A = this chain, B = another copy of it.
Amino acid sequence: MAPASVETEIALRHAGLRVTETRRGVYNALHALPHARADEVFARVREGLPATSMQSVYNALGDFVDAGLARRIEPAGHPGLFELRVADNHHHLVCRGCGRVEDVDCVAGAAPCLHPQQTHGFSVEAAEVTFWGMCPACAAQSE
């Protein structure tokens, strides 16, 4: 269900962002579409706010990411996807056929959940895991 208007407002303010119609719309779109591309968010926002520009959606999404309200993921070969689930360290399962993305819980919970065999002198902050496979629909189709 869509978050109550008040909740959206609180979330935005808490992140230090001004509350605008565009941002409300983008936040609610992300709530409804948990791994959405910018253009999908745009389409969704326009249902309620037909005057909104693509640029504003990019602005809002960028602001959300900067404020820690949203996360941007970018599976190889796909445009960026945005998600509101930022509180925990989780991973993603991506379909090679259609690009469908699902969340996968992390066993460890906190980053970095895995540690590299070699560090090459780097300080390692996070381990991003992307599982690649075939979703049921694409598997059925490729028989």
**A interface residue numbers (CB < 8 A to B):** 72-74, 76-77, 80, 91, 93, 95-96, 102-107, 112, 114, 116-136, 139
Contacts and interface: CB of A to CB of B under 8 A. Distances in A.
Given A93-B124, A104-B118, 19 more contacts: A91-B116, A93-B118, A93-B119, A95-B122, A96-B125, A102-B118, A103-B118, A104-B117, A107-B117, A112-B131, A116-B131, A122-B135, A122-B139, A123-B134, A124-B131, A124-B132, A125-B132, A126-B132, A127-B130
B133 A124 contact: yes
Given A93-B122, A116-B91, A129 B132 contact: no
16 contacts: A73-B76, A74-B77, A76-B80, A76-B128, A91-B116, A102-B122, A104-B118, A121-B135, A122-B134, A122-B135, A123-B139, A124-B133, A125-B133, A126-B131, A127-B130, A129-B129
Closest CB pairs A-B (n = 8): A74-B76, A124-B133, A122-B133, A121-B136, A102-B120, A104-B116, A128-B130, A105-B117
